[in-house]
Structure 1
């Protein structure tokens, strides 16, 4: 009886090993064929099976495409599980773009506390971004949240100048809200006593994590949302993040 069980286990292990070798060989073939046939394709970071038979995910950074098991065809698009009505591609991209909240350099952010500030939200923003101004109005109405505003001047020289003026203001949080909500130009930076290197660090951090537009929101559970969303959507995600934690 024990011998039968042992043989069965060995057989199962053999099948698993064979499957792993087969998967490894297919992955290698996909990598090889795509690299040879599409020399301008960026370096492939990962090749993994998808739930769809014969279809493989090809990950390049935080972008995903799909290939057949030989690398003969490369597909750009989305996979939707029609049974659960789940967009598997969107789900995967959300996971890839997530930022660990603990990794955020909070000392380089303008901190604004609303209500008791119990919940946390980080936002990458450019002071000349129209969508950011619209978002800021909605965000101002969200209760009991601490907002970490990372000045992210990527739209041009004036964005950098305004960001420096806001960061170096006596009350950066007030200067930020005055500009974004009321159009009050932040006071000019006088002298050289202010250390504005935080702005350079913010841009470097954002580029590292591929923050390509503003606003970009990061919640405590790592969820990242690009673009302006409503206050109701922020509230919903804050509640979801609290539930996960």
Structure 2
């Protein structure tokens, strides 16, 4: 003989499901955070977020790599997460990097806009970096090719360093584009202070895997670690 739950009992079970799910998710997040803090005490955790598609937790470490951690906190890996969609493979980590960068207002960047823009690159830069200076010399050529160059600050020596102070002074100057070019040519920048995005840029760079300069983010989210000549960059961009 079939037996049925009373109507009110079925409703009660259904109504508790969202609460149960959220409790389980919270427990997993707490376990992951505790496990990573114990295993990697040299890093501080900036964010822990569930990646719903894979069931892994993405842990963002300050000045460290992004980790993908199992819900029990016993296993982790680094690198990108790929989503298989039939014959297509989509890099979801790149999509997240791109979304974070594209959400930034252009007013917080130093932008060298191409007159006939076809695409853009976003460059994490340091004014004292020799390869950053090489890339900057090619900005006019990149602009001619239709590539807009958007700069974000990444003082390699960290927050509070001399490089950091130089970049704050540039971003706070009366003409950031001109002073960035002068600084990359070896000129001293007059000290300036203001509300600026330099620290936020630096932290964003760390969170998406920037470890040196220049680091170039293409419009599809691909991160290129290091200098590429203008012609090679154009090929990467499909131009």
TM over 0.5: yes
Q: Specify every segment of 5 or more residues in structure 1 that has no aligned partner in the other structure, as ranges.
A: 1-16, 241-245
Aligned-residue Cα RMSD (Å) equals: 4.7
C-alpha distance 33-239 of structure 1, shift in aligned 2 (>3 A): same
Q: In the alignment, what sits opposite 1:186?
A: 187
Q: In the alignment, what sits opposite 1:11?
A: none
What TM-score do the two structures reach when normalised by structure 1?
0.57
Match of 1:30 among 28, 39, 42: 28
Aligned mates of 1:160, 1:33 — CA distance in 2:
39
Paired residues, what number? 207
Match of 1:148 among 133, 138, 150: 150
Aligned mates of 2:232, 2:18 — CA distance in 1:
42
Indicate the structure (1 or 2) with the bigger Cα radius of gyration. Answer: 1
C-alpha distance 224-207 of structure 1, shift in aligned 2 (>3 A): farther
Aligned mates of 1:140, 1:216 — CA distance in 2:
19
1:117-132 matches, within 5 Å, as 117=117, 119-132=119-132
Match of 1:205 among 200, 207, 216: 200
Q: In the alignment, what sits opposite 2:234?
A: 235
Q: Specify every segment of 5 or more residues in structure 2 that has no aligned partner in the other structure, as ranges.
A: 1-14, 40-44
Whether the 8 Å CA contact 1:119–1:144 is kept in 2: the answer is: yes
Secondary structure (helix, strand or coil) at the match of 1:73 reads: coil
Q: 2:107 matched to 1:112?
A: no
What TM-score do the two structures reach when normalised by structure 2?
0.58
Whether the 8 Å CA contact 1:110–1:167 is kept in 2: the answer is: no
Structure with bigger helix share is 1
Whether the 8 Å CA contact 1:166–1:172 is kept in 2: the answer is: yes
Q: In the alignment, what sits opposite 1:160?
A: 165
Whether the 8 Å CA contact 2:153–2:201 is kept in 1: the answer is: no
Aligned mates of 1:114, 1:44 — CA distance in 2:
36
- Worse overlay, 35-44 or 147-156: 35-44
Following TM superposition, by how much is the alpha carbon of 1:140 offset from its aligned partner in structure 2, in angstroms?
A: 4.3
